[in-house]
């Protein structure tokens, strides 16, 4: 059955235009794909190509804080701390409820470079925000240990580190737990998903 041009145009005109919410969702998904592809390119040691995908992700969804967090990691790996920090600050501006952005900002404040000065006070400020959002997140707790060391609170830092180790690695060593411990060492990303009680 063959349609006439007029019938095809009538069908097209009758089709409902996508809602604004649908367009926003499409942009978000396109941005997400660009971020993930950029991350793959970073892993493949193709930073310039990765930057193009991250920049495209920002163009598609400039309100998505996660885009800026990912691009900040690229800048960090390229040893461009000012750009990394600017993207992290943008991520916090877009979504101030993401603890990992504050953790990374605090870490950047604690790494002196030619262009950025070591700023422990600002690092503590970012740490306090992260802790208020996610007090039991392992990255927040590890940052607290690092800050305590830098501030000279070595005993307190060691005590907290021992509590973290005890929470992650129970003292009972069975054949299963020994295998489990080995897997933890091979898969450090697992630790970032750990919550302490």
For 119-159, how does the pLDDT look when each residue is reduced to its tens digit (9 = 90+)?
888 889 999 999 999 988 888 988 999 889 888 899 998 99
**Six token digits for residue 110:** 């604690």
pLDDT(179) > 60: no
What percentage of the chain has pLDDT greater than the value 70?
A: 74
What residue spans define the domains of the chain? 1-95
pLDDT digits (tens, 9 = 90+) for 59-86: 999 998 989 999 998 998 888 888 998 9
pLDDT(46) > 90: yes
Tell the residue number behind the tokens 């802790």, with chain if given.
Answer: 131
Find the mean pLDDT for residues 89-93: 94
Distance CA 188, CA 197 (A): 20
The CATH code that applies to domain 1-95 is 1.25.40.10
What percentage of the chain has pLDDT greater than the value 90?
A: 34
Tell the residue number behind the tokens 């580190």, with chain if given.
Answer: 161
Distance CA 134, CA 111 (A): 23
Distance CA 134, CA 192 (A): 12
**Six token digits for residue 135:** 């007090």
* Contact in structure between 104 and 77 (CB atoms under 8 Å): no
């Amino acid at each position: 059955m063959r349609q006439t041009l007029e019938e095809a145009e009538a069908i097209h005109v009758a089709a409902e235009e996508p809602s604004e919410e649908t367009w926003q969702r499409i942009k978000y998904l396109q941005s997400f794909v660009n971020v993930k592809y950029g991350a793959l390119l970073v892993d493949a040691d193709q930073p310039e190509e990765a930057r193009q995908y991250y920049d495209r992700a920002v163009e598609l969804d400039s309100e998505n804080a996660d885009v800026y967090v990912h691009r900040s990691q690229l800048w960090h790996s390229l040893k461009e701390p000012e750009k990394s920090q600017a993207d992290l600050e943008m991520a916090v501006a877009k979504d101030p409820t993401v603890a990992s952005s504050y953790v990374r900002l605090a870490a950047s404040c604690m790494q002196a470079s030619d262009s950025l000065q070591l700023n422990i006070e600002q690092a503590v400020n970012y740490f306090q925000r992260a802790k208020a959002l996610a007090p039991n997140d392992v990255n927040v707790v590890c940052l607290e240990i690092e800050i305590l060391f830098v501030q000279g609170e070595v005993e307190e830092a060691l005590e907290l580190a021992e509590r973290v180790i005890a929470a992650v690695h129970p003292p009972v060593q069975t054949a299963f737990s020994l295998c489990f411990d080995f897997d933890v060492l091979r898969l450090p990303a697992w630790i970032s998903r750990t919550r302490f009680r």
